[in-house]
């Protein structure tokens, strides 16, 4: 297998899924009508409801859904099961489920006056469905924040070459916000300056490598070279498990990330979160575009970086830890999350994008098209890790992506630096946003019962502390799989809602119903498997060794998994009842649609 | 024919790139403007929300400037919304 063939497979998948399946569903099942007025045109308020050109909305929606999720999932899955199962699930998942989930979420919102999924669930399924969706959001955020902080701290601490770039990125993000919103400078000039400086800092990271290495050494010497926390990590020693040690330098970088996230969470959005994301976007987009085209061209220009070097298939049940199980079904289907299907896309696509759809004919290119394009991002991550094969999964990804970028004549060490930085930046900028939404969720959920969490500083600190507690279990792979389970389960619930809605309006519900059942069963099974794995691989060994913090962290993870299962069972029962109710009811004729003039 | 098609493709790419880059700043600027307008409206046109905050003379003098915005403004402030609405568009990439 080589990268050119994989890129061709990806392009053919996108073409076939869009033209043969998605368009058919759009025409014959949804029957999108360009003459029907959309909520954006009916309720235009100049802010949220705003008719927007489809090309602009495509770019906006794609940027909103594409970042760290599809990259991390593909990296982990390829390292556990090999590249073949990963690529098969990416292709089949996005073709039959992924685009349908994103597209349908926009459709159901557009056809329901721009209401959010939770509001529609409240009306169509049951009042408690909305509350349960709310619980999902909170724990989803907690899990993904824990997974991202864990991986970020490890990568940053072990890659002193990238640390200057991250610091400069933060400064340039703050500067960009000031330039745009306070000094009223033009976007193009401000972009060139801030992105250019950050790029130079990333490429020049090698010059400051020794300084940051000295800093790490100095921090570790403060504690006499002794670890702060020791825990049993089942992912070490080639997945056989070993004791891991948290050194002061790792804690320092974890706290630095938390400080960054705290600032992103509490400062006005224009001051930090938005401009940092924007600068980070240019860096990662540059690396990804160069990488994707480089992957296609590598077979001709630089064949040595185009050949897959990891095994195609590593077995149905690879070992991860001394005990526990990691069966291909259901675990692969939650490990590769956003590149194939994501519930988060549906949840927020229904609120943000659906209210800007100008024309019903735009729903498919914007919703389905963006998801199919995101699949290419997941595919690129899979290719990079498949040709990289050097060191840990993230290192292999950076080596592989660096190889693709080097096709353009960039020296390999700079290309790898850029690839590493792209990964770190894409995860880092998402993490600060996670904490931002998590503190809003926490305030909303517990604000009435525990008034102090209404304070944004308290809510942010509580969110960060909970994530750190999860990180201290030391097993971010399990955290990632729990996140994947919550995320895919949310996708199943959104498809379930779409199925109920299609049934309520007398349309063929199979294109959403079958994927909903598959994802529902798969994700419930994956949550139970992950809870079992955490218990036998993390909780028990650390309990036996009398380590309090890892025991609390892993115990919390097991509880979260079981809570998500219970919530999903309840909403599944409610959804089934609603489905049966609408199926056996005479179809109500919809109100005549408003027609645009 | 070919020129027209190329122009369409160029416009589509320009729109896509704008959606990827500058559009979120434009949206956020609009949000900030609406927040200020809301404060302005409530202070000067309290009658609209049933709160007579200032003497009507100010309202009457400002009314001609406000009338074109009243319909969209009322739709914006009176709409039921989720608690995460304000932050949702910032949660990129999951």
In whole angstroms, give the CA distance from residue A496 to residue A519: 10
For A188-225, the DSSP string reads: HHHHHHHHHHHHHHHHGGGGGHHHHHHHHHHHHHHTTT
- The answer as to whether B56 is a domain residue is yes
The least confident of A105-109, A491-495, B88-92 is: B88-92
Answer whether residue A41 shows pLDDT above 80.
yes
In a domain, A591, yes or no: no
Give residue A566's pLDDT.
Answer: 92
On whether residue B11 sits in a domain, the answer given is no
The answer to whether residue A590 sits within a structural domain is no
**pLDDT higher than 80, residue A404:** yes
Which of A13-22, A360-369, A419-428, B5-14 comes out lowest in average pLDDT?
A419-428
Domain encompassing residue A32: 3-583
Q: Give the number of domains in chain A.
A: 1
In a domain, B72, yes or no: yes
**DSSP label at residue A315:** -
Q: Tell me, what's the ipTM?
A: 0.75
Q: What is the pLDDT of residues A106-137, one digit of tens each?
A: 999 999 988 888 888 888 888 888 778 777 77
CA distance B30 to chain A (A): 6
Residue B58 lies in a domain: yes
Decide if B41 is inside a domain.
yes
Residue A406 falls within a domain, yes or no? yes
The answer to whether the CB atoms of A274 and B72 lie below 8 A apart is no
Residue B58 distance to chain A (closest CA, Å): 25
Chain B CB contacts of A58 under 8 Å are: 15-16, 19
Q: Of A159-163, A227-231, A518-522, which has the strongest mean pLDDT?
A: A518-522
Higher pLDDT among residues A57 and A17, named by residue: A17
The pLDDT score that the predictor gives to residue A447 is 78
CB contact under 8 A, B75 and A43: yes
A506-525: per-residue pLDDT in tens?
A: 999 999 999 999 999 999 99
Domain region containing B38: 29-88
Is A206 part of any domain? yes
Asked, for residue A280, whether it belongs to a domain, the answer is: yes
* pLDDT tens-place string over residues A437-470: 788 778 777 777 888 888 888 988 988 888 888 8
- Classify residue A594: in a domain, yes or no: no
Is residue A226 assigned to a domain? Answer: yes
Helix, coil or strand: residue A127:
helix
Does residue B14 sit within a domain? no
Mean pLDDT of A488-502: 92
Residue B75: inside a domain = yes
Q: Which residue of A has its CA nearest to B12?
A: A55
Across A285-289, A319-323, A507-511, the highest mean pLDDT is recorded for: A507-511
pTM score of the predicted model: 0.85
Nearest CA in chain A to B92: A64
Q: Which of B21, B73, B92 sits opposite A67 (nearest CB)?
A: B92
As for how many domains chain B has, the answer is 1
CA distance A295 to A2: 9
Neighbour count for residue A52 (Cβ, 10 Å): 21
The answer to whether the CB of A48 falls within 8 A of the CB of B87 is no
Answer yes or no: is B43 within a domain: yes
pLDDT tens-digit series, residues A555-578 = 988 998 999 999 889 989 999 999
The arithmetic mean of pLDDT across residues A336-351, rounded, is 83
| Inside any domain, residue A300 | yes
Tokens of A491: 């996708």
Which tokens sit at A312?
Answer: 């195609």
CB A469 within 8 Å of CB A550: no
State the pLDDT confidence band at A487, using cuts at 50, 70 and 90.
confident
């Amino acid at each position: 297998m080589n990268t050119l063939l994989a890129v061709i497979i990806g392009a053919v998948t996108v073409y076939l899924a869009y033209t043969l399946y998605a368009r058919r569903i759009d025409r014959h099942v949804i029957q999108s009508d360009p003459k029907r007025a959309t909520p954006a045109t009916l309720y235009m308020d100049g802010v949220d409801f705003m008719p927007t050109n489809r090309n602009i909305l495509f770019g906006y929606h794609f940027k909103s859904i594409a970042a760290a999720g599809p990259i991390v999932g593909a990296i982990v899955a390829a390292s556990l099961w090999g590249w073949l199962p990963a690529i098969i699930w990416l292709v089949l998942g996005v073709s039959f489920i992924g685009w349908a989930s994103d597209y349908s979420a926009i459709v159901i919102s557009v056809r329901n006056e721009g209401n959010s999924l939770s509001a529609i669930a409240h009306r169509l399924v049951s009042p408690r469905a909305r509350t349960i969706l709310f619980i999902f959001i909170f724990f989803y955020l907690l899990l993904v924040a824990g997974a991202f902080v864990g991986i970020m701290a490890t990568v940053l601490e072990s890659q002193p070459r990238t640390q200057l770039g991250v610091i400069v990125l933060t400064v340039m993000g703050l500067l960009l916000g000031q330039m745009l919103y306070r000094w009223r400078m033009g976007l193009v000039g401000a972009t060139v300056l801030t992105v250019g400086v950050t790029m130079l800092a990333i490429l020049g990271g090698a010059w400051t490598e020794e300084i940051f290495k000295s800093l790490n050494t100095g921090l570790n010497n403060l504690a006499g070279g002794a670890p702060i926390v020791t825990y049993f990590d089942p992912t070490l020693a080639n997945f056989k498990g070993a004791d891991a040690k948290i050194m002061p330098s790792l804690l320092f970088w974890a706290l630095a990330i938390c400080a960054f996230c705290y600032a992103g969470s509490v400062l006005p959005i224009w001051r930090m979160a938005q401009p940092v994301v924007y600068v980070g976007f240019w860096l990662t987009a540059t690396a990804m575009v160069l990488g994707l085209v480089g992957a296609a061209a590598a077979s001709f220009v630089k064949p040595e970086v185009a050949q897959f070097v990891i095994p195609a298939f590593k077995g149905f049940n690879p070992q991860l830890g001394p005990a526990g199980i990691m069966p291909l079904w259901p675990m692969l289907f939650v490990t590769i999350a956003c590149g194939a299907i994501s519930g988060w896309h549906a949840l927020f696509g229904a609120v943000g994008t659906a209210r800007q759809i100008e024309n019903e004919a735009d729903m498919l290119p914007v919703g389905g098209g963006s998801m199919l394009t995101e699949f290419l991002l997941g595919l690129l991550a899979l290719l990079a890790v498949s040709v990289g094969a050097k060191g840990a999964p993230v290192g292999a990804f950076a080596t592989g992506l660096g190889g693709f970028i080097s096709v353009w004549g960039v020296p390999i060490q700079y290309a790898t630096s850029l690839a590493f930085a792209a990964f770190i930046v894409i995860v880092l900028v998402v993490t600060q946003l996670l904490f931002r939404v998590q503190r809003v969720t926490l305030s909303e959920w517990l604000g009435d019962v525990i008034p102090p969490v209404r304070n944004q500083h308290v809510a942010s600190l509580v969110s960060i502390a909970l994530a750190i507690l999860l990180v201290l279990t030391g097993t971010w792979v399990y955290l990632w799989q729990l996140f994947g389970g919550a995320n895919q389960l949310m996708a199943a619930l959104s498809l379930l809602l779409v199925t109920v809605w299609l049934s309520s309006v007398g349309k063929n519900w199979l294109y959403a119903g079958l994927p909903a059942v598959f994802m529902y069963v798969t994700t419930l099974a994956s949550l139970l498997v992950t809870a079992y794995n955490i218990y036998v691989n993390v909780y028990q060994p650390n309990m036996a060794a009398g380590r309090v913090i890892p025991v609390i962290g892993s115990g919390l993870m097991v509880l979260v998994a079981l809570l998500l299962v219970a919530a999903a069972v309840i909403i599944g029962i409610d959804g089934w009842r609603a489905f049966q109710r609408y199926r056996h009811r005479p179809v109500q004729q919809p109100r005549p649609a408003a027609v645009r003039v | 024919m070919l020129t027209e098609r190329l122009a369409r493709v160029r416009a589509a790419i320009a729109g896509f790139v704008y959606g990827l880059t500058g559009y979120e700043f434009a949206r956020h600027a609009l949000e900030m403007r609406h927040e200020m307008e809301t404060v302005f409206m409530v202070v000067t046109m309290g009658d609209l929300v049933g709160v007579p905050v200032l003497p009507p003379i100010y309202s009457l003098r400002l009314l001609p400037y406000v009338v074109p915005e009243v319909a969209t403004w009322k739709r914006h402030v009176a709409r039921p919304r989720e608690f995460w609405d304000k932050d949702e568009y910032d949660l990129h990439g999951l």
